Amino acid sequence: MSSDIEIARAARLSPIADIAARLDIPPAALIPYGRHKAKIDAAFLDNLTERPEGRLILVTAMSPTPAGEGKTTTTIGLGDAMNRIGRRTAICLREPSLGPCFGQKGGATGGGQAQVAPMDEINLHFTGDFHAITTAHNLLAAMVDNHIYWGNPLGLDPRRIVWRRVMDMNDRALRAIVSSLGGNGAPAETGFDITVASEVMAILCLATDLADLQARLGRIIVGYAKDGTAVTCADLKADGAMTALLKDAAQPNLVQTLEGNPALIHGGPFANIAHGCNSVIATRAALRLADYVVTEAGFGADLGAEKFFDIKCRQAGLKPAAAVVVATIRSLKMNGGLAKSQLSDEDLPALLRGCENLGRHVENVRQFGVPAIIAINAFSQDTDAEIAEVRAFAARLGVDIALCRHWAEGGAGAEDLARKVAALADSDESRFAPIYPDDLPLWEKMEAVALRIYRAERVTASKAVHQQLSRWRKAGFGRLAVCMAKTQYSFSTDPERLGAPVGHEVQVREVRLSAGAGFVVAICGDILTMPGLPRHPAAEQIGLTAGGDIDGLF
């Protein structure tokens, strides 16, 4: 069987202008980056506001396992299938981070016959958006240190600087460092986060235009003076230069699927440590250019979908029409207690136990008033009895289900899902609403997510966390959303508790204010904002062939 990269290279890609024409984007509105990718000019997008919006479809998933669920692959396969059945559809995805590409997860462009292309270029550097975000973030960090070096007229307390540096790579050695050694300022403890956890990334993905982008950047809090007064990016006069660095990065990227359908790929915050959605700019553009937009949110519905609904849709005024919850027989059995080495064996009791995880995610999506359908991403070793068991479970849950073979067959393998999703989106059943109101206190918002979505029994935090939340409320930040940062592998904060645990405790060990992004990050459990590389990172297998092609990326 051909590998994903061989399939991608064998595909005959169309000129990017031909892909743009499918969305009525004229050549003059394209800023080409080579033959097969381009940015869409902001001036063109500004003139789309009078067009009616299409219907927004979210693809989310059960809790991820090492067995894989194929959420991105399903998003692409569904988009291809929607176009096959005559529904004018655009796909909206996040950009891959270099950290996972060289670490353990690998690339993020789909798989098999359901891919976006050019795969190598999208996974490595793409159009430079992440580099621009990294540079803008670190410019602010440099200006903070420089301000202190030249006398600190704003009175920043060096012990209360909260703006760290970032890089788009997994590097555990940079989690905690001492900076400014060798007489280059006052030595200080600091560290690095991965770029996808940067508030600048979140801001780029939530801003509506360049003016909003600069205003949000200006609200970033870099630290506090000794009297407790917040010092912002605007106070340091860094917001203008940061916006200039991000001017091109703020324009969404257009590529294509292997079947020649348009895909907008823009932004890439992780869902376990950030809000896990592509940019508002790209989603809004797609909604004006297509009748249907298929987008995804990272990891399981407890993370990506919750933040998509409670953060992105709330801030951008988006109203999703339907949601798809992706699962695989293999991951269901793993959530039911089987080891990865046992997944090829038929085990109906384990499968049924794992279905509890899937059911929890479907119930959670419904809590937001959004109708859902289950997509089973089929593998060749799935047995008829296993598929029948999942169908019976879905029937008991009262939710429709579709068996999909888009990895092997492309859009043709997801036509049943496409027809059902289109009917669901057209039904106007959605009664979308976030699960907590803006005026609920910050702590109670965290409790709402933990108790209603994670099914925790209690939420705990130190006195210092509660005091910090109280100070932010008094400072006018009480109406912000909350962004829960926790493991993606479990509803709990323990990655080993698979399935659908109840009665557990969620400990909020730290809170961070992202005033520009418009949310408070609650770090729960042992979540890391700078991942490390595994014992055998994917980078060991990546290189160039004799012909100069990238090999081993997927």
Catalytic residue among 22, 37, 39, 71: 71
| Three-class DSSP category at 421 | helix
Our answer to whether residue 73 is catalytic in this structure is yes
Our answer to whether residue 105 is catalytic in this structure is yes
Catalytic residue among 379, 472, 519, 554: 379
Of 92, 487, 432, 116, the residue nearest 271 (C-alpha): 487
Catalytic residue among 60, 65, 72, 73: 73
Is residue 222 within 8 Å of residue 199, measured between CB atoms? no
Is residue 527 within 8 Å of residue 487, measured between CB atoms? yes
Separation between Cα atoms, residue 4 and residue 307, nearest integer Å: 30
Q: State which H helix or E strand residue 256 sits in.
A: strand 253-257
**Could you tell me where the beta strands, DSSP code E, fall in 70-129?**
89-93, 110-111, 114-117
Our answer to whether residue 74 is catalytic in this structure is no
Under DSSP, the state recorded for 327 is E
111, β-bridge pairs: 114
Residues 225, 230, 232, 237: is their CA dihedral positive or negative?
negative
Catalytic residue among 9, 84, 88, 105: 105
Catalytic residue among 126, 192, 299, 393: 299
Amino acid at position 246, single letter: L
Our answer to whether residue 102 is catalytic in this structure is no
**Could you tell me where the beta strands, DSSP code E, fall in 279-399?**
292-296, 322-327, 372-377
Question: What is each CA distance from 528 to 7, 199, 273, 486, in whole angstroms?
Answer: 35, 15, 8, 9
CA atoms within 13 A on the CB side of 420: 18
Under DSSP, the state recorded for 107 is -
Helix axis angle, 199-206 to 210-218, nearest 10°: 150
Q: Which residues contact residue 333 at a Cβ distance below 8 angstroms, ignoring those fewer than 6 apart?
A: 67, 342, 343, 347, 350, 351, 354
Separation between Cα atoms, residue 156 and residue 147, nearest integer Å: 9
Six-digit token string for 382: 């799935």
Our answer to whether residue 126 is catalytic in this structure is no
Our answer to whether residue 94 is catalytic in this structure is yes
Six-digit token string for 544: 């160039």
Our answer to whether residue 420 is catalytic in this structure is no
Q: Which residues are designated catalytic?
A: 71, 73, 94, 105, 271, 299, 379, 407
